[in-house]
Amino acid sequence: MASNGYRNGILKGSVKVEKLSPSSNPKPSSIKSKTTSTQVSSVRRSSPASLGGVGSGVKGDSGVPGRVRVAVRLRPRNAEEQVADADFADCVELQPELKRLKLRKNNWDSDTYEFDEVLTEFASQKRVYEVVAKPVVESVLDGYNGTVMAYGQTGTGKTFTLGRLGEEDTAARGIMVRSMEDILADICPETDSISVSYLQLYMETIQDLLDPTNDNIPIVEDPKTGDVSVPGATLVEIRNQHSFVELLRLGEAHRFAANTKLNTESSRSHAILMVHVKRCVKGSEAALSIENGNGSHMSKNFRPPLVRKGKLVVVDLAGSERIDKSGSEGHTLEEAKSINLSLSALGKCINALAENSPHVPVRDSKLTRLLRDSFGGTARTSLIVTIGPSPRHRGETTSTIMFGQRAMKVENMVKIKEEFDYKSLSRRLDIQLDKLIAEHERQQKAFQDELERITIEAQNHISEVERNYAEALENEQSRYQKDYKESIKKLEEQWMLNQQKLNSDRARVEVKQEPLDMGLAVAELQKSLQNEINLRKAAEEEVNSLKSQLVQWRRSEAVGNAEVLKLRKLLEDEEHQKEKLEEEIAGLRSQLLQLSFEADETRRSLDRGGSGKILTGLDSLMSQVRNSQIKDSGNGQKAPIVNLFEQVGLQKILSLLESEDSDVRIHAVKVVANLAAEEANQEKIVQAGGLTSLLMLLKSSEDEMIRRVAAGAIANLAMNETNQELIMDQGGISLLSMTAADADDPQTLRMVAGAIANLCGNDKLQITLRGEGGIKALLGMVRCGHPDVLAQVARGIANFAKCESRASSQVWYSSTGTKAGRSLLIDDGALPWIVQNANNEASPIRRHIELALCHLAQHEVNAKDMISGGALWELVRISRDCSREDIRTLANRTLTSSPTFQAELRRLRIEC
């Protein structure tokens, strides 16, 4: 047996397996240099039909040869093998120091194979990562594409090696988790980025493990470069290790797995993790500026940065298996066929590449198309093959070893991918432009603020000058006024002095003329005295006149007060008289009603030809209706209603429902409602026309009390199946629906909901009730939010769902031969409210909703709607946590009997 390839970066020639002579090969560090300047003379000719072509995204056309490195890992015996193979030796013998493996044919003959690494069953996860995946991860960080893939029989530890999260035991972390740790530790978060896609290839269909609704994703190939991509997959940017582990956990939850004889959790799909690493090359801009002879700051700012893009692909292949050993059957058998076909296509491609065949059947499988770059392409690829020690599986172990031997003959042309990041340059220019705009705005704002400050200071200065001028003007005016007053005062003093001097001169002149004018002065004094006497007499007369008027006014006031007292007394007498008249009117009204009823009774008696004897006691009816408070609890408290019914008669009580007096109607409808609560009275009330009268009251009355009590009476009558049909025939559900739409009072809505809930329990009326808006009326009343109203709504939905489940179990197919349609409740939009209140705190609401969910689930045609609406989770919760054993048993039976529910629970890996 011959092997040809690299081991740890050293080229090996074609020699026998037992003795291999290494030859020289460029060191791995040369791969990290720019490929534009790398010329390799001893490069193996790339096959034109290789799995991966040369991409135009790389910086140069030449590449570095790199063989697919293959490591083998032995799984220790499991518990079953320790018992079954206790008397047999392992079929595999490892020589890790020589990197050899011996596969025993029998006790005296064996075949020897060499690999790049041989890992015993005691090898730690860290050592596996360092020898298999770490060189690939370092190449990806340097801008190359890299692939790490696990191949082997089912149950040999492929998923353990690659995808183990290691949450309980840190040492058990797999290659995926350790690779991301090294990548995150090496990149710069400010300039570099990492994005991840997680896919599975299941039954030749590519599905997104991060978004299960995104299935059947197409593969896109670049016609120029031949690069393969899946642009329809979800791409998540990774910032820290915790988010990556959560992403892996989410993907593993959506991956298909099944229980086989070889493995209890056998992967039924190929899992593909794609990690895209984008790194900015440090110092590239300075180097380019020096090469171009232009090191100015401006040219550096406008030069695009150099970016290296590397892609790490980690492939966890589903295990190859034989049907007779795995025990696959049914759908699991179809999965196994699909897995074996895709692995067979991969083996054919590797055989063609190893033999330099002119044709490589890449398009035989989507797996080979996805791995086009990993074998014979431009990626650095490491393959780990996992085997088991059991001699029972010697054939599968041999096939796995031969697959690894053929893969070691495949050579890739590893190329670095460097490109100018024009988008980054555009973003940087945009940021710089935004900074300049912001700086301009700040300067403009500062200029405006400075201008406003100068304006305010100028205005303050002008105001201060104006204020100082006003104060100076005011001071000057006050000074002038003070001087003016002082001048006036001096002039007045001067005038007084002049006047005194003049008076003294005049007095001297009058003394000289006094004897001459004495007679004239006496005459003038007498005349003035007489005038004064006349004025005094006139004043006395006027005072006397005013006194007489005052006396008259006091007398008039006394008379007025007496008249007011008389008028007040007359007003009080009028009020007493009015009260007596009102009492008399009330009595006359009752007598009038009595006479009218007696006249009606007399007319009916005469029509029947009777003796004319009329039942008396209507006055007692009126007094009891007006004065007694009818209560609902206790047999002794219902005695007045029974006595009233026996003494007066049902017909007279029902006639009061048409009274013009609203109080009479209210009390009468209360009497009828209490009578309707007794099953013995319901038939009599319906035969006497009481149902029709109650429906008319519900339709015509605007009084909230009357409508509430009438709805309660109808709810009591609706407990009888015969009455239910009569209510529907007379349009009762339409009237109840209109009342529910118009009413706001919770008690009224409770009565209406109770009546509709009773009607929902009749199998014969479901189509009519739904057609006349009964279900929508129930759902409309949830706007009230009152617990009693919601309890009645839940009871009605439970009754309706129970009737539907009973009907679906009796008549599974309609008269046309087709399967019966889904529930009318789901058609009317009741499912969201049912799911929302399935775990309501109020036990009456929760109990009815749980029953409704169980009854809806019994009809298989409702299963898909219930799954999409979230009802399946509530059914699982009811089957586990419901306090009532009968409901819990019904939920378990329903989940077990439904194929659709069972398939969804298996898909979600939920045990019920």
Helices (H), 638-745: 639-648, 650-655, 662-676, 679-687, 690-700, 704-717, 721-729, 732-742
- Cα(485)–Cα(342) distance, rounded to whole angstroms? 123
Using CA atoms, how far residue 340 sits from 319, 330, 332, 337, 603, in Å, is 8, 16, 12, 5, 99
Residue 267: strand pairing partners: 257
Could you tell me the two tokens for 768?
A: 């009519």
Beta bridge partners of 11: 6
H-helix or E-strand spanning residue 405: helix 394-407
In 38-164, where does DSSP find H-type helix?
79-84, 125-128, 134-141, 158-163
Q: Where are the alpha helices (DSSP H) in 730-862?
A: 732-742, 746-759, 766-771, 774-780, 787-810, 824-827, 831-836, 843-857
Cα pseudo-dihedral 539, 543, 544, 549, rounded to 10: 140
Establish whether 636 is an annotated binding residue. no
Residue 367's Cα: distance from chain center in Å? 37
Beta bridge partners of residue 309, listed in sequence order: 278
Q: Are 57 and 370 in contact (CB under 8 A)?
A: no
Rounded to whole angstroms, the Cα distance separating 827 from 733 reads 19
Residue 232 known to bind ligand: no
Q: How far apart are CA 474 and CA 463, in angstroms?
A: 16
d(CA 618, CA 592): 11
Classified as helix, coil or strand, 39 is coil
Give the DSSP letter of residue 619.
H
Are the beta carbons of 265 and 196 closer than 8 angstroms? no
**CA Rg, the chain, in Å?**
54
Strand partners, 228: 221
Encoded tokens for 495:
């005038």
Q: Is 712 annotated as a binding residue?
A: no
Distance CA 728, CA 723 (A): 9
CA distances from 715 to 267, 337, 750, 755 (A): 59, 63, 10, 4
Say how far apart CA 157 and CA 176 lie, in whole Å: 14
Exposure b/e, 556-570, CB count within 10 A at least 16 = b: eeeeeeeeeeeeeee
| H runs (alpha helix) in 65-169 | 79-84, 125-128, 134-141, 158-163
- Candidates 148, 143, 210; CA nearest to 178 is 148
Q: Which residues pair with 420 in a beta bridge?
A: 306
Tell whether 152 is in a known binding site.
yes
| 332 marked ligand binding residue | no
The tally of CA atoms less than 13 A away on the side-chain side of residue 191 is: 15
> Per residue, what are the HEC states of 722-740?
HHHHHHHHCCHHHHHHHHH
- Within 187-256, residue ranges assigned H as helices are 241-254
Which residues face 396 on adjacent strands? none
Q: Are 92 and 57 in contact (CB under 8 A)?
A: no
Question: How far apart, in whole angstroms, are the C-alpha atoms of residue 593 and residue 599?
Answer: 10
Q: Is 153 known to sit in a ligand binding site?
A: yes
Please state the residue numbers annotated as binding site for ATP. 152-159
Please state the residue numbers annotated as binding site. 152-159
